[in-house]
Amino acid sequence: MKKVLVGVLAVVVGLMFVAGAVWAKEQQSGKGMAAVERAAKAQKYLFIFFYSDGADQTASMRTIFNKAVDNLPGKTMRVEVNVTDPGEAGIIDKYNVRGAPTPLALAIAPNGAITGGYAAPFTGEQIASSMATPCTQASLKALQGNKAVILCIQNRNTKLNDGAMKGVQDFKADPAYAASTEIITLDPSDPAEAKLLGTLAIDPKIDQAMTVCLVPPGQASAKLTGATTKEMIVNSLTVKSGGGCCPGGGGGAKGCGPTAAQPSAAKPPITAKTGGK
């Protein structure tokens, strides 16, 4: 009996130690960063409400924010972060919101991509629109990491699939481009990707494979139909300025690495949703 009690006591002490370690970690990094880590591990969307005071607008925006997140489908988490709390410096710096107007809402996809950002006043509809498709999440993750993206849009019903992939594979095989480019495959018949295809103005019933090249911050530099070559991909992703020869215009003596696309009057098709002030 004594041994059993000792065993139970050891388990209880162990659980208390684990709970204490979790509490200490949250105190060190702030509840904001702790929520980011939990959401990533659980593969859930995280919605963050940044605030700085208890003003009437903060209260009304909090109500709208909470109601919108409650009504979202699938797995979601939310957290509130007081930007005046020194303990929340980690998440404030991570998302570069220091000095930003509050209240502010951010939507973080399970892969860590920012898919929405809204300064007050924002609406529930704007919060809901931040739920991005899987391929949009993957594209934004790469683009926000300053990589170029090649979207390979094809399935078993599209023609010239191998020909379309030939140029992409040859391009990716070149060490000069491999590290600065992300290749993402999209099935045009996937209903989950209808929103992205609509944004790109591509018919989900295409009969030939398509290849879309994107450069940061999300501008479509080319939409290619059918077979591709490495040269076509290079020309589509290269911004010839300052001797650059790499995706997004990086290159030269410093090596390859995409930089932000040149300013354009047209809004990039693949970007995080934004709004508010």
CATH of domain 29-128: 3.40.30.10
What is the distance between the alpha carbons of residues 137 and 272, in angstroms, rounded to a whole number? 9
Domain range list for the chain: 29-128, 134-265
Judge whether 210 and 225 are in contact, CB under 8 Å.
Answer: yes
**Cβ neighbour number for residue 270 with a 10 Å cutoff:** 23
Threshold 0.85, pTM exceeds: no
Kind and range of the H or E run holding 48: strand 45-51
Same CATH fold assignment for domains 29-128 and 134-265: yes
Helix (H) or strand (E) holding 184: strand 181-186
Tokens coding 239: 């911004």
Q: C-alpha angle with apex 138: 211 to 147, nearest 5 degrees?
A: 70
3-state DSSP assignment of residue 36? helix
Structure tokens at 25: 């970690």
3-state DSSP call for residue 82? strand
- CATH no. for 134-265: 3.40.30.10
Rounded Cα distance, 203 and 273, in Å: 22
Copy the structure tokens of residue 150. Answer: 């090649």
What are the pLDDT tens digits along the chain (277 aa)?
444 434 444 443 343 443 444 444 444 579 999 999 999 999 999 999 999 988 899 999 999 999 999 999 878 999 999 999 999 999 999 999 999 999 999 999 999 999 999 999 999 999 999 999 999 999 999 999 999 999 999 999 999 999 999 999 999 999 999 999 999 999 999 999 999 999 999 999 999 999 999 999 888 999 999 999 999 999 998 753 322 223 333 333 333 333 333 333 334 555 566 666 5
